[in-house]
């Protein structure tokens, strides 16, 4: 499965800790991330992560395009709802794309944990049947 990882600035450390905790599961999948978040994850875990631009430079839009082309199976976007995000990625376009293309998305750690555990159990295998793809990052 192709998993996209995005985090607002105040949630980047939480994303890193989450990736450390679930490194064994993430290692079985293709990971992509916005630039800064991806770099932090690579440094902390050694996982192979394909990095796009940082969110402020359009990395979230690059991920959105991959969702539209059915190249993403799961999105983890740890957002900070309490801080104004004028210069950071906006979650609304990604939520819309995920809804249109039936891509599960978690915007907080509680939902992310449910999705990652489900992924590990095979609950997301339907994505390969309904949406076969050749693109791997």
pLDDT (tens digit per residue) in 54-85? 988 999 999 999 999 999 999 999 998 887 65
Residue 99, pLDDT score:
96
Dump pLDDT digits (tens) for 115-131.
999 999 999 988 877 67
Is residue 82 domain-resident? no
Nearest residue to 11 via CA among 82, 63, 105: 82
- Tokens linked to 64: 């959105």
- Beta strands per DSSP E along the chain: 2-7, 30-33, 49-51, 74-78, 105-106
Q: How many domains does the chain have?
A: 1
Is residue 81 domain-resident? no
- CATH code: domain of residue 70: 3.40.50.1380
Is 73 annotated as catalytic? Answer: no
* 112/108 Cα distance (integer angstroms): 6
Among 60, 90, 99, 128, the active-site one is: 60
Is residue 7 domain-resident? yes
Domain holding 49, by residue range, is 2-75+90-130
Is residue 80 domain-resident? no
Place of tokens 């809804």: 99
Is residue 84 domain-resident? no
pTM score > 0.85 for this model?
A: yes
Is residue 49 domain-resident? yes
Mean pLDDT rounded to a whole number for the chain: 91
């Amino acid at each position: 499965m192709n998993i996209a990882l995005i985090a607002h600035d105040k949630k980047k450390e939480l994303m890193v800790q989450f990736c450390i905790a679930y490194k064994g599961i993430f290692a079985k999948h293709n990971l992509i991330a916005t630039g800064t978040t991806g770099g932090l994850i690579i440094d902390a875990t050694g996982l192979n992560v394909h990095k796009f631009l940082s969110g402020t430079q359009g990395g979230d839009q690059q991920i959105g395009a991959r969702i539209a082309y059915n190249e993403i199976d799961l999105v983890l976007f740890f957002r900070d709802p309490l801080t104004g995000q004028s210069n950071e990625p906006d979650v609304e376009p990604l939520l819309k794309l995920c809804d249109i293309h039936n891509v599960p998305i978690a915007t907080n750690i509680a939902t992310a944990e449910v999705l990652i555990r489900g992924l590990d159990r095979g609950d997301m295998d339907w994505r390969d049947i309904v949406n076969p793809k050749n693109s791997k990052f």
